Amino acid sequence: MHEFSVVSSLLENCEQIAKDNQASKVLAIHLEIGERSGVNADLLKRAFLDFKIGSICEDAELFIRLVKVKLFCENCKQSSQAVGINYTQCPLCGSSSVAIIEGNEMLLLRLEME
């Protein structure tokens, strides 16, 4: 379960950001997780509950916004949301000349600190 290492890295980043901003605690962490990021949001939340104990994030709430896969088609020059798990074909024109432009990332959007 690589969510443990993801949470560990997330907490390290949050602690550094809090330190850089002279904050004594982190109250909320806002993440964006793409459905193709390879991170399971439910497992991440569970790991966060265990790993935050004793850290500057101990009282923090974790907010996760899930992002669907968005494709860009080189053939029709349109962007569209992928249909189901078909990430290799444009849902508009059927071309296989597509690239994922959203939905494969995990981003730390915002920290609320005091």
CATH code at 1-113: 3.30.2320.80
**Is there a contact between 51 and 43 (Cβ–Cβ < 8 Å)?**
no
pTM score above 0.85: yes
Judge whether 93 is annotated as a binding position. Answer: yes
Judge whether 57 is annotated as a binding position. Answer: no
Residues 45-78: tens digit of each pLDDT: 999 999 999 999 999 999 999 999 999 999 999 9
Q: What is the mean pLDDT of the chain?
A: 96
Judge whether 30 is annotated as a binding position. Answer: no
Q: What 3-state DSSP class applies to 102? A: strand
| Domain locations along the chain | 1-113
Distances (CA, A) of 85 to 12, 37, 90, 113: 33, 13, 12, 37
Judge whether 14 is annotated as a binding position. Answer: no
